[in-house]
Amino acid sequence: MAKCVICGQRPERVDGYCKHCFSQLEAVRNAKDRKQPRHFLTYQGHVVGLFPNGGKTLVARLLARSDKYLPKRKTVNLNSYCTGYSRDSIKAFKACIRQLSQA
C-alpha cells in the first residue's frame, strides 16, 4: 500500500495524500485571501474590475459578471453621465473597457 507523499506515514487516499494531509491542504487553499475589486466599470454590457496592485495603482480585468448584481457604491456606469470624473478619465475608462473586451 502506498504512503502519503507529505508525511510518509499514513496510507494514501486522495491524489497521493492521506486524509489528514489532504484536509490541511484544503484548509490552506480555502483560507487564502481572494482579492476583491476596488471599483467596477460597466460599459455596453461589459464589466471590468479594478483590482489593487500593491501600491496605489489599480489593474483592470474583464469580468464575466452581470452588471445587475454589482454593488452600487463601487460601480461606475459609463453608459450614462458620471459625476465626479473628468472627461479625460471617462475616455480612458471607455478605451480600457474596449481594449479588454476585444482581447
Residue 32 above 80 pLDDT?
A: no
| Closest listed residue to residue 25, CA positions, set 35, 15, 39 | 15
Q: How far apart are CA 39 and CA 66, in angstroms?
A: 15
Give me the sign of the Cα torsion angle 79, 83, 88, 90: negative
pLDDT digits (tens, 9 = 90+) for 36-51: 899 999 999 999 999 9
Name the pLDDT band for 22 (thresholds 50, 70, 90).
Answer: confident
Predicted local distance difference test score (pLDDT) of residue 103: 62
Predicted local distance difference test score (pLDDT) of residue 94: 94
Predicted local distance difference test score (pLDDT) of residue 92: 94
Cell numbers 501600491 correspond to 55
> What are the boundaries of each domain within the chain?
1-32, 39-102
Predicted local distance difference test score (pLDDT) of residue 28: 84
Predicted local distance difference test score (pLDDT) of residue 88: 95
Predicted local distance difference test score (pLDDT) of residue 14: 67
Predicted local distance difference test score (pLDDT) of residue 77: 94
State mean pLDDT over 4-20. Answer: 81
Give the helix/strand (H/E) hosting 100. helix 87-102
- Phi-psi domain of 87 (left: phi exceeds 0; alpha: psi -120 through 50; beta: other): alpha
Q: How far apart are CA 1 and CA 16, in angstroms?
A: 11
- What phi and psi, each to the nearest 5 degrees, are found at residue 39? -140, 155
| Single-letter amino acid code for the residue at 4 | C
